[in-house]
Amino acid sequence: MSTPYVCPATYSGSLDNFLRRLMHKPAKILSPFIKEGMTVLDMGCGTGFFTAELARLVGEKGKVIAADLQQEMLDKMILKVSSLGLEKRVEAHKCQSESTGIDKKTDFILTFWMIHEVPDQQKFLEEMKSFLNPGGRFMIAEPKIHVTRKSFNELIKRVEDAGFQIISTPEIAFSRSLLLEVKTAGD
Ligand SMILES: C[S@@+](CC[C@H](N)C(=O)[O-])C[C@H]1O[C@@H](n2cnc3c(N)ncnc32)[C@H](O)[C@@H]1O
């Protein structure tokens, strides 16, 4: 299996800038799914473009686990949420490449423009499933520029093999996306 390209921290400027903020509105994308008091995982959080909004939406009683492979990304994420006074709601977690090392259950998982960087997607998706509380949801958004329709269809097959069902396909600019729940015996 070839190792996919991981967006380096030196390119982090491309993840949070004027154009990105025009293209993606975190509040619009996330607010239908996040409620106060939730525990949320922002997997592959990068510089925290979505972490800050997640932290705002979960409120004082909620928690965001912001996880990334790269410490430099986590450092930038922490700076961002701290500048907004949201740092108490955010727990930074550094993943290893073979396993996330996360041991918490969550109500919502976001992987925004990151799964195409994961070498073993099947194992990764099964791990995400194990992190979800009953009724929890998992949003995947992948960049059209890097993920063709064919590759995304292969991801859909992996998602279904991992035991998820597709609830909807949210409209997100320049992205192919899925909102998922774990399949239950009655589905
Ligand atoms: C293209 S960036 C997207 C960042 C953020 N989600 C956003 O939308 O701005 C992908 C991020 O995923 C992280 N990443 C890639 N593979 C990962 C893995 N296996 N575990 C954790 N993070 C990973 C990278 O380090 C990078 O910060």
pLDDT (tens digit per residue) in 99-117 = 899 999 999 999 999 999 9
- Is ligand 1 within 6 A of the CB of residue 33? no
Number of H helices, E strands in the chain: 6, 7
Where do the domains of the chain lie?
18-182
| Kind of pairing between the strands at 164-168 and 106-112 | unpaired
- Is ligand 1 within 6 A of the CB of residue 69? yes
**Closest by CA position to 166, among listed 133, 128, 140:** 140
Cα dihedral 158, 162, 168, 172 sign = negative
- Find the mean pLDDT for residues 178-185: 93
Whole-number Cα distances in Å, 102 to 16, 37, 42, 106, 115: 26, 20, 12, 10, 17
Over the stretch 7-61, which tens digit does the pLDDT of each residue have? Answer: 887 777 888 899 999 999 999 999 999 999 999 999 999 999 999 999 999 999 9
How close is the Cα of 44 to the center of ligand 1, in Å?
A: 3
Level-2 CATH architecture, domain 18-182: 3-Layer(aba) Sandwich (3.40)
- Is ligand 1 within 6 A of the CB of residue 177? no
Q: Residues of 85-114 as b/e, b for ≥16 C-beta within 10 angstroms?
A: ebbebbebbebeeeebebeeebbbbbbbbb
pLDDT over 80 (residue 2): no
CA dist., res. 67 & res. 111, Å (int): 10
93 DSSP β-pair partners: 67
Statement: the pTM of the whole predicted model exceeds 0.75: yes
pLDDT over 60 (residue 64): yes
How close is the Cα of 41 to the center of ligand 1, in Å?
A: 13
